Amino acid sequence: HREDLSAIKEIFDRLGYAPHEQRPGFLEAYSYSLEFIHPRHGVIVEPHWTLVYPPFVATAAMEPVWARAVRQRLMNIDTWTLSQADLVLHLCLHLIHKGEHTPLLWYYELDTLIRRKRSPLDWNVFVQQAQAMGQAGLIADVLATLMHHFNSTIPDSTMSRLLGTAQPTPSIPPHQMRDHLLAQSSLNGREEFALLCSLRGLRPKIQYVYALLFPSPEYMAQRYGMSSSMGLTMSYIARACHLSWEGCKWTGAWLVAAVTTRRG
């Protein structure tokens, strides 16, 4: 639960892990998970508190998801796991999150999970949750890919409902330009740019961009493996140049999206 984030931080602190984020509080404010890195081993752990990714994090009501969780024994440990419907939904969202960088193997693994049916997959819950999160169309694209490459057994009624026009929920205001950008799987950083477009007010936007461009020295040292002052300075310059170039591509995509949505 999101309310347990402070307890999660304390647990990883006792285990010797250090927070790994651009600025203190950045991930909790703008992301979908925390990140912790082990100083000696370099292992990164990401505890998620939601199924979705920016800019839709606030749209996911997680209480029903936790209520559907099932008790299972994994690695000789009794633990709570996502229901089959929520697990498949989360994996679909993860494929969307990775975009064109997603290996076909991951689609095969998702198809295998659906076929095994170790526990009942409630497609009705799956569709309702996808619609509530404002992700129905993109998830339908993932399922269509599974059907095309692996003849996945997806009910026709499920595809019809996902592709149908869903009523917008109060937490998901219509935003054609944002949705157009998110559909561009080749656009690197599309989620970050879509989140920037979704932030309300100039100050939150400035704070968000500043944290992306100029993370803390601790983050830069962990991220780029630099410890000297000169190395950190060069890393900041390289990061600023890279993100500025990506920003130019985002701006171009934004202009194309503006023209496309206006014509639509």
Cis peptide before 39 (omega within 30 of 0): no
30 contact partners, CB below 8 Å, separation of at least 6: 54, 195, 208
25 and 156 assigned to the same domain = yes
76 and 35 assigned to the same domain = yes
Tell me the backbone φ, ψ of residue 45, rounded to 5 degrees: -120, 135
Burial of 251 (0-12, 13-18, 19+ CB in 10 A): exposed
Chain centroid to CA 248: how far? 23
Tell me the backbone φ, ψ of residue 54, rounded to 5 degrees: -55, 145
pLDDT at residue 148, as a whole number: 95
For 69, the domain range is 2-163
Radius of gyration of the chain (CA): 20
7 and 129 assigned to the same domain = yes
For residue range 38-59, list pLDDT tens digits in order.
Answer: 888 888 899 988 888 877 777 6
Residue 146 placed within a domain: yes
pLDDT at residue 138, as a whole number: 87
Cis peptide before 47 (omega within 30 of 0): no
pTM above 0.95, yes or no: no
